[in-house]
């Protein structure tokens, strides 16, 4: 597996800089409002941690697979981001809500498609229910 590009941070702005050979794969992505960005948490060293107290619920011991923590046996992360702009010629996508750091390898992009990517009645643990808004904007 090799990156298709890298995350670039400039203050609060986030960009996905796509490698030239993958730019043709961006065709029609600009017709979607959101993109699912798959990225590698490659700067994390402790990949053996299987349980933790998440920072948003320090009283709840959880398994790594019950969190979205970057500490994972395989450090693959996914973030659904709003597409703000695409420069298809240069292979640069400006996005909102990307939680990857500058220089993070991007391994794939998938358009957010409501028929496939949403759940009608999702359930989450009570220890998470008060923390985040119902929707990503």
- CB 107 within 8 Å of CB 4: yes
Count of other CB atoms within 10 angstroms of residue 15: 20
Q: CA nearest 54: which of 67, 37, 43? A: 67
Copy the structure tokens of residue 88: 């298809």
Cα(9)–Cα(21) distance, rounded to whole angstroms? 22
Split at pLDDT 50, 70, 90, the class of 136 is low
User: What is this structure's pTM?
Assistant: 0.86
pLDDT tens for each residue of 75-92: 899 999 999 999 999 999
pLDDT tens for each residue of 92-102: 999 999 989 99
Split at pLDDT 50, 70, 90, the class of 123 is confident
* Confidence (pLDDT) at 131: 62
Q: Is 97 left (phi over 0), alpha (psi -120 to 50) or beta?
A: left
pLDDT tens for each residue of 35-51: 999 999 888 777 778 99
- Domains, the chain, in order of start with CATH, read 5-41+75-117 (2.40.30.70)
């Amino acid at each position: 597996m090799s990156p298709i590009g890298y995350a670039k941070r400039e203050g609060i702005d986030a960009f996905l800089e796509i490698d030239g050979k993958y730019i043709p794969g961006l065709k029609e992505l600009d017709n979607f409002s959101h993109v699912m960005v798959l990225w590698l948490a490659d700067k994390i060293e402790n990949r053996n941690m299987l349980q933790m107290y998440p920072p948003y619920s320090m009283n709840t011991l959880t398994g790594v697979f019950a969190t979205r923590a970057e500490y994972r046996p395989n450090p693959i992360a996914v973030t659904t981001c709003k597409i703000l702009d695409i420069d298809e010629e240069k292979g640069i996508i400006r996005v909102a809500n990307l939680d990857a750091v500058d220089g993070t390898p991007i391994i794939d992009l998938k358009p957010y498609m409501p028929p496939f990517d949403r759940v009608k009645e999702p359930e989450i643990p009570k220890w998470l229910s008060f923390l985040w808004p119902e929707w990503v904007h």
